[in-house]
Chain A
Amino acid sequence: MPSCRRHLFRRVAFRSHNLPSWKNTFPDPSTSPAAYAHEMRIHLASDAPIQLAEYMPYFSNVRDLTLIGGKCDNLEWIPSIGKLPTSIRSLTMKFVSITNAQVLNIMGQLPNLDNLSLCTFKGSGFPDGVGDILKGRYGGKLELLLMDDFHASVVRSLLEVSEGLGFKSVKAFCNAEDDFPVYADLVSACQDTLIDLDISVSAEGSPLC
Chain B
Amino acid sequence: MFDFSNHKSIEHLSFSLLSNFASCRWLSTALSTISPANSPRLSTVTIYLHRHVPPARLVSEPTLGASATKDLRDVGTEVKRIRDESRGKVKFEVVVPLPQVMRSIRLAWPSALEGCSFRVEY
Contacts and interface: CB of A to CB of B under 8 A. Distances in A.
On whether the two chains bind one another, the answer is yes
A22 interface: no
Contacts of B51: 200
Contact of B18 (A183, A193, A195, A201): A201
A80 B20 CA distance: 44
B6 A187 contact: no
A200 B13 contact: no
Contact of B1 (A184, A191, A192, A208): A184
Given A177-B26, A184-B3, A201 B17 contact: yes
A200 B16 contact: yes
A197 interface: yes
B2 interface: yes
A203 B65 CA distance: 14
A25 to B, nearest CB: 43
Interface string B4-17: 10111111111111
A198 interface: yes
A98 B3 CA distance: 32
B21 interface: yes
A204 B20 contact: yes
Chain A, interface size: which category?
20 to 34
A202 B18 contact: yes
A70 B41 CA distance: 41
B2 A187 contact: yes
B52 interface: yes
Given A199-B15, A201-B16, A180 B22 contact: no
B111 to A, nearest CB: 23
A187 B6 CA distance: 11
B19 interface: yes
B10 A188 contact: no
Given A180-B1, A206-B52, A208-B52, A191 B6 contact: yes
Contacts of B41: 195
B10 A180 contact: no
Contacts of B14: 196-199
Interface of B: 1-4, 6-22, 24, 26, 41, 48, 51-52
26 contacts: A168-B9, A180-B26, A184-B1, A187-B3, A187-B7, A188-B3, A188-B6, A191-B6, A192-B8, A194-B7, A194-B9, A194-B10, A195-B9, A195-B10, A196-B10, A196-B11, A196-B12, A196-B14, A197-B12, A197-B14, A198-B14, A199-B2, A199-B14, A200-B16, A206-B18, A206-B19
